[in-house]
Structure 1
Amino acid sequence: MRINEWFAFNYLFKKLLFLRYSVYGESKMRIEWYRQTILLLTLCFIIVPSLVSASVMDDAISAISVAKIQLVNAYELTLQLEQTGGNITELTLTLNEAGLLLSNAEHAYSIGDLDAAKNLAIQSQNLLEGFADKAGALKEEASQQAANDFWFKIIYPIFGSFAVIAVGFAVWYLLKRKYDASGVIENDLKNYRIVFIVVILLAALFVASPAIQKVLVYPSVQSASFSELWLLGPEKKAENYTSSISRNENYTVYLGVANQLGSCAYYRVDVKLCNATQQPPSSFNRTASTQPSLYSMNLIVPDKGNLEMPLSFSFNYTFDEMLYQINFVDLTLNGLPLNLEGYTVAWTPQGAFSVDLIFELWIYNSATNVFDYHERYVGLHINIGE
């Protein structure tokens, strides 16, 4: 209720209440008491729901913000563990589960389901409880393993090679004394000295080989750092892509991301929809589409790792015969309804209603704490049946 409406209601109610109770002889003080009581109750009915709604919204926003911070912190811990040589496979599985819950929480918030948004964000937080302790334990385990490798792959092999040489020469010395004592001609023993020395050195090199591998400097090979993004058809092959769809029919593709950057990466895949008049991503200008993201997927992929997921989708729409255009209602992606209100497709000169379902790759920048467009995208060009 707006302010002017409130004052008009207040004035009219006061006049009617005074007129009614003046007929029955009620005093003005009693009438005023009734009026203030009823107005206070009315005010409670107006303000309290608004306050409750604002409180629920604040709780949802707060829960999502905390979940985002926790996911970033957990990713940073995973990155540090990877740099120390630790095994991050289990951690990345947990991160991707938490990332999925966060993505769904953000989607629930975007469609106004505040309770679901809050609950999903809290589930994401709970999944990351104790993550720092687990990462710390794995880091300690990696450090201990590195220390063991130092002893078993460097120190022990070096000492072992020296021991082989020492034992070899001791054996040679004992054999020489034995030959001298038996009166055998010394030249006969000298004929085998070179062979004996070669055998000792080869044995010493074999024992020291783990240490030699650690200290040898190999020619550096400059490998390119890059990320990969791909889309496969329903049989997980680069064929039989969906090109024509019907209303509320389900279709499946497989989206994949691979990391060759040299370290663990935190990706985000934005799902967008463009018609012929809207700007898609540009490979030439290296810019993302200006269309809003319908849904964002949070993905953490280790170095030299990849992640592939099925995407099931369907479109719901209506056909406007007067304007001869398609009006979208929603896009269902892996069971989640994505609102497409306001999205339309007009008839094209090519004789079809067509749209592009786009998947853009973004990457988290630890220096700026934001996601940057990673200059990669894939998409489906879809013709829509009436």
Structure 2
Amino acid sequence: MQRRIKLKASFNKWRFLSIITSCILIYSTIAYTLMNPRPREQFFQLYALGSQHMIGDYYPKNTTTITLNTNVSWYIGVTNFMGSIQYVMVKVKLGNASIPPPNQTTATPSPAPEVASFRRILMDNETWEIPFNWKIKSVEEREGELYISLEINGAETGVI
């Protein structure tokens, strides 16, 4: 009888230890999952809006032929989804159909000339919207080369 009580007590002891161990494993797994969330995708969002602050109306009178001293208004936006503070530089290039666009596969920028650049530090999830107003001031052809003078955000740029 005493041996039977010892076996029963020993069996209950192992059952208790098994339950406690299982509970610790389950709760520690849940705690780890809650304390270490899945990493999120890190990226920048870059967008361009037209004069009405909407997609579209990028060119006056809906024509891509821009005459001298015609104001063109765009808004360039960047949102930081990198998960930390980031230093951002936006380069604006001027090109036409004969200049190749950027190559996304090789991460090669367009060879078009840079007409403006903007820099700023962005907090995580912060959006920065840049008003970009420009017009062509003059166009000259010298020795088969085309030279364009621009006014960007009220300041005249050099000839490109």
Normalized per residue, which structure has more strand?
2
Name the structure 1 match of 2:133: 312
Give the Cα separation in 2 of the matches to 1:287 and 1:319: 29
Where do 5+ consecutive residues of structure 2 fail to align? 1-30
Deviation at 1:272, TM superposition (A): 1.7
- 1:226 equivalent to 2:43? Answer yes
- 1:303 equivalent to 2:124? Answer yes
2:140 and 2:148 in contact (8 A); partners too = no
How many residue pairs align between the two structures?
A: 124
Residue deviations 1:182-223 (CA, integer Å, cap 9, x gap): xxxxxxxxxxxxxxxxxxxxxxxxxxxxxxxxx784272332
Whichever residue aligns with residue 328 of structure 1, its letter is Y
Name the structure 2 match of 1:335: 154
Residue deviations 1:127-169 (CA, integer Å, cap 9, x gap): xxxxxxxxxxxxxxxxxxxxxxxxxxxxxxxxxxxxxxxxxxx
Deviation at 1:309, TM superposition (A): 1.8
Give the Cα separation in 2 of the matches to 1:216 and 1:267: 34
RCO (CA 8 Å, sep 6+): is it higher in 1 or 2? 2
Whichever residue aligns with residue 246 of structure 1, its letter is T
2:75 and 2:129 in contact (8 A); partners too = yes
Match of 1:281 among 78, 84, 102: 102
1:315 and 1:328 in contact (8 A); partners too = no
Name the structure 1 match of 2:18: none
SS at match of 1:254: strand
1:317 and 1:326 in contact (8 A); partners too = no
Name the structure 2 match of 1:148: none
Deviation at 1:294, TM superposition (A): 2.7
SS at match of 2:94: strand
Root-mean-square deviation (Å): 2.6
Deviation at 1:292, TM superposition (A): 4.3
Give the Cα separation in 1 of the matches to 2:32 and 2:70: 60
Larger radius of gyration between Structure 1 and Structure 2 = 1
2:139 and 2:149 in contact (8 A); partners too = no
**Change in CA separation of 1:252 and 1:295 when aligned onto 2, cut-off 3 Å:** same
Give the Cα separation in 2 of the matches to 1:291 and 1:319: 18
SS at match of 1:310: strand
- 1:261 equivalent to 2:78? Answer no
1:318 and 1:326 in contact (8 A); partners too = no
Give me the TM-score of the superposition, normalised by structure 1.
0.29
SS at match of 2:48: strand
Give the Cα separation in 1 of the matches to 2:125 and 2:111: 31
Trace 1:11-90 onto structure 2 (pairs within 5 A).
none
Give the Cα separation in 2 of the matches to 1:262 and 1:292: 32
Match of 2:56 among 222, 239, 255: 239
Deviation at 1:230, TM superposition (A): 0.4
**Change in CA separation of 1:287 and 1:318 when aligned onto 2, cut-off 3 Å:** closer
Whichever residue aligns with residue 40 of structure 2, its letter is S
1:271 and 1:295 in contact (8 A); partners too = yes
Residue deviations 1:32-60 (CA, integer Å, cap 9, x gap): xxxxxxxxxxxxxxxxxxxxxxxxxxxxx
Tell which deviates more after alignment, 294-303 or 229-238. 294-303
**Change in CA separation of 1:275 and 1:233 when aligned onto 2, cut-off 3 Å:** closer
Whichever residue aligns with residue 264 of structure 1, its letter is I
Whichever residue aligns with residue 90 of structure 2, its letter is V
Deviation at 1:271, TM superposition (A): 1.9
Where do 5+ consecutive residues of structure 1 fail to align? 1-214, 342-386
Deviation at 1:293, TM superposition (A): 2.6
Trace 1:1-386 onto structure 2 (pairs within 5 A).
217-218=33-34, 220-242=37-59, 243-318=64-139, 327-341=146-160
Percent identity for Structure 1 against Structure 2? 27
Deviation at 1:244, TM superposition (A): 3.1
